[in-house]
Chain A
Amino acid sequence: MNIQDNYLKNKENIFFSQNKDIKNHREKLINIFKNDKFDRKNNESLKNINLKNFIDFNYKYLIPEETSVINNNQENIYSILSVNGQCSSFKDEKIEITKILKEDYNDFSKNNTIEKNDHFVNLNSLFLNSGFKIVIKKNNNIKIKISNIVTDDDLTIFQKNSIICEEGSSLSLVDEYENKNNSTSNIFNVIKLEKNSQLNHFLIQDNSSNHNLITTSHSTCKKDSTYIQKVYNFSEGYVRNFHYSELIEINSEADLQGIFFLKDNNTSNNKTFVKHLAEDCKSNQVYKGILNDRSKATYFSNTYVDQVAQKTEGYQLSKGVLLSDNASYFSKPELKIYADDVKCSHGSTIGPIDENAIFYLRSRGMSKIAATKILISSFINEELSSIDDDQMSQIIQKKLVRYLSKVK
């Protein structure tokens, strides 16, 4: 069923469908879809995507029976079970979890740069059926782990989360996506960092081949705040990771990292976009990809430096390793700079594993496969060794070993 019909038929099941303002906005979005028709040629963010899955789908949503928030007060650790994108409400002196509200809709749906180019975010706004809001109260230091679970086959989850870190707070957030059923999740995280706050955001993606995952995030950083994002994509199904970051006040920082491991016919689309809108801000974008078999990946990175954003430091790096003849990697590291006192650079490499390095290891008695595996591990070692959390590190190591076992 196409987008328009889907929308008209399921209007009543969608969040905030009674609200006039939101309704009007959605009508506008419908029009964009009508006119644009997913123009692959002029919208490069659609490259390599099997669009049929996302335009022509059967809308189906189930309200979950059971969700939970468990907290371990002693260690400031909270575990959230998010089922079909929903989560039960919870409140204590440190955090507050609620459903998303009408007021939040405008906050993240009407972002101009995204609206114009990112159809998947528009789809999310159009069919919004789940999501929650987490507020970390002032000066707290906590850890949250979210397990994202989809209960049934053929579900289409359109989820919007809002994460707000109040002044002086610090949050370590782990988002886990491990789904085995044939469904699609379209998740948009809107993140706000108040003065002097910090968020370490880990996304671990490990879905089976029939699960499509689309994650988008948009972060805004105020004075002295830091947003760090690390994405580990081990999924066998399609994954799209698009991350937008805006540095709106002085001395804020955004660090977006990602590693993806692809094999078989899998595809992954990645994008990072950092906007420097204030002085003395720093950004860093690093994406590394390992591509085997017939896999395909794209990575777009963009650093925008506004005229007022003097003393900016912005770095980008993208590296791809192609293990097979049929793999392909497209990268477009873009810089747009309107201020003069800046240090900005980007680097990009794509190639095979270094033959000399393989030769060195083989000459010391290692088999070719063992040598390849060692070199792949070393390729991403820098990122993996930077994880402070032992538990996390072990989880990722395990997944890496699993991926490497299939490399021939």
Chain B
Amino acid sequence: MNSETLDTLDSYSKNKYKYGFVTDIDNEKPKKGLNEDTVKFISLKKNEPNWMLEWRLKAFSKWKKMKEPRWANLNFPEIDYQDIYYYSAPKGFEKKPKDLSEVDPKLIETYNKLGIPLEEQKVLAGVAVDVVFDSVSVATTYKGELEKLGIIFCSIGEAIQKHPDLIKKYLGSVIPAGDHSFSALNSAVFTDGSFVYIPEGVKCPMELSTYFRINAENTGQFERTLIIADKGSYVSYLEGCTAPKRDDNQLHAANVELIALEDAEIKYSTVQNWYPGDEDGKGGIYNFVTKRGLCAGKNSKISWTQVETGSAITWKYPSCILKGDNSIGEFYSVAITNNFQQADTGTKMTHIGKNTKSKIISKGISLGKSQNTYRGEVSFLRKADKARNYTQCDSLLVGNKCGAHTVPYIDSKNNTAVIEHEASTSKINEDQLYYCRQRGLSHEEAVSLIVNGFCKQVLQELPMEFAVEAQKLVSISLEGSVG
């Protein structure tokens, strides 16, 4: 890194404290537990207008009456909502490792395998460095370019201040606060997340990512993302990172809402690699995410791509409501579970408009003692004439202590709509394995190659740079558990 960059960084990290409230909190210890005061506290700290506070309180009162959903094929203990910090502790408050030597060597090993630069490693491991290095300059240049096009890309907190009209109109319009207990919880206490607005007719020239957003270094445990693509626009959004992330927060309940108006297209890609717990199934993140997209206008399109390798528990169903005529919904997913991980993931495609199309490709891989479930719903409502769905979900089992499950719900109320669903479950093909071994690959390499081939259909949907990393990630996830 050259000295100029370092200077920029320095000044940036100093500047940061200009924004009043951050320093304020330094003196105030956030309290554990959830009650109306917590919600008020968060709202106050974020300097939110009154209508926002009311919105949060309303969601909170709904949450109080709700029970967390238990229908998934997951086994987890009762969550103690009073034992959680709802306002993540400010810088300097947490115990942070001083340099990389204090970080778990296993983590460093994985970083090296993924080919992550040393400086970046520090950030990912949570070493006490305040800013994301290269991305700062990158971010500022990008930001200028985005502004020129009229694209709004900022944190949700900033959007509440600066673009209240858009927030009022769209926040909670796809995932109502009262949808289920996690959405209500998130609505009440969300602290961070991204807001994207693409104006009419604009094609966003680059992949947007939380990584490039200046104040993204502290993506909270209750993230709230809202993406609006106005008429005829296009945006591709990346969430997460291939590098494993350690996090003290056990419970994550993010909400992501996408809205595509007429002729607009949103592509949302996720790589999730949170801490999955150790080999004995201790610890690990509980990831309860609600993601939903609304194809509101005609000819709109929403495409979800996800690679799920982390978290002790994954509960995630990115779904599409195909309301506009001719709209398209897509879902591509790879879910890998190892050791004692449990994943219950899938999608929901609701066809409302005419000529709507959806495509679901899901690949599940179970290793060790993990349980991997695909749960998807495809429904054609009465007016969804000529709607079309194709679903393919394949599961691969490695080892005889894991489980792979498929739970599709298929509902058709229209006699011109066509649904096709196919699924298969099997172990790794012996012939393929034999062929690879014959050509000199070790057992582990062979398995990794076959699994990568198995996932290819999904991985190729990821943006270029991501796809390469994701492939490596798939191989790493398999390590040590085959053979």
A binds B: yes
Mask: chain B, 4-21; 1 = CB below 8 Å from A; 0 = not: 000000000000000000
Point out the residues of chain B lying under 8 angstroms from A350, CB to CB: 410, 412, 417-419
Mask: chain B, 375-409; 1 = CB below 8 Å from A; 0 = not: 00000001000000000000101111111111111
Contacts A338-B403, A340-B400, A351-B418 aside, 11 further interface pairs with beta carbons under 8 A come to: A42-B71, A335-B423, A337-B397, A337-B405, A337-B425, A340-B397, A342-B425, A343-B425, A350-B410, A351-B415, A352-B416
Listed in ascending order, the chain A residues whose CB lies under 8 Å from chain B are 42, 307, 310, 320, 322-325, 327-352
| Chain A contact residues, majority secondary structure | strand
Point out the residues of chain A lying under 8 angstroms from B438, CB to CB: none
Please, how many angstroms separate the alpha-carbon atoms of A347 and B425 in the complex? 12
Whether B408 contacts A307 by the Cβ 8 Å rule is no
Whether B424 contacts A340 by the Cβ 8 Å rule is no
Please, how many angstroms separate the alpha-carbon atoms of A163 and B414 in the complex? 41
Point out the residues of chain A lying under 8 angstroms from B395, CB to CB: 335, 337
Whether B411 contacts A342 by the Cβ 8 Å rule is no
Whether A322 contacts B412 by the Cβ 8 Å rule is yes
Of B399, B400, B412, the most chain A CB neighbours within 10 A belong to B412
7 A/B residue pairs, CB under 8 Å, sorted by A: A330-B409, A333-B410, A334-B407, A335-B405, A335-B406, A346-B422, A348-B420
> A349-B418, A350-B418, A351-B418 are contacts. A334–B406 as well, Cβ < 8 Å?
yes
Count of CB-CB pairs between chains A and B under 8 Å: 111
The 10 tightest CB contacts between A and B, nearest first, are A322-B415, A351-B418, A340-B397, A348-B421, A335-B406, A345-B424, A350-B412, A328-B413, A344-B425, A350-B419
Of A322, A324, A337, the most chain B CB neighbours within 10 A belong to A337
Whether B398 contacts A328 by the Cβ 8 Å rule is no
Point out the residues of chain B lying under 8 angstroms from A334, CB to CB: 405-408
Mask: chain B, 162-181; 1 = CB below 8 Å from A; 0 = not: 00000000000000000000
Chain A, Cβ-Cβ closest to B388: A351
Whether B406 contacts A323 by the Cβ 8 Å rule is no
Number of interface residues of B (CB under 8 A): 34
Chain B, Cβ-Cβ closest to A324: B415
B427 CB within 8 Å of chain A: yes
Tell me the minimal C-beta distance from B395 to chain A in angstroms. 7
Whether B414 contacts A325 by the Cβ 8 Å rule is yes
Identify A332's interface contact among B399, B401, B408, B427, CB under 8 A. Answer: B408
Point out the residues of chain B lying under 8 angstroms from A320, CB to CB: 412
> A336-B403, A337-B403, A342-B397 are contacts. A330–B417 as well, Cβ < 8 Å?
no
Please, how many angstroms separate the alpha-carbon atoms of A183 and B338 in the complex? 54
B426 CB within 8 Å of chain A: yes
Whether B414 contacts A322 by the Cβ 8 Å rule is yes
> A347-B422, A349-B419, A350-B419 are contacts. A336–B411 as well, Cβ < 8 Å?
no
Tell me the minimal C-beta distance from A340 to chain B in angstroms. 4
Tell me the minimal C-beta distance from B414 to chain A in angstroms. 7
Point out the residues of chain B lying under 8 angstroms from A346, CB to CB: 406, 421-423
Chain A, Cβ-Cβ closest to B380: A350
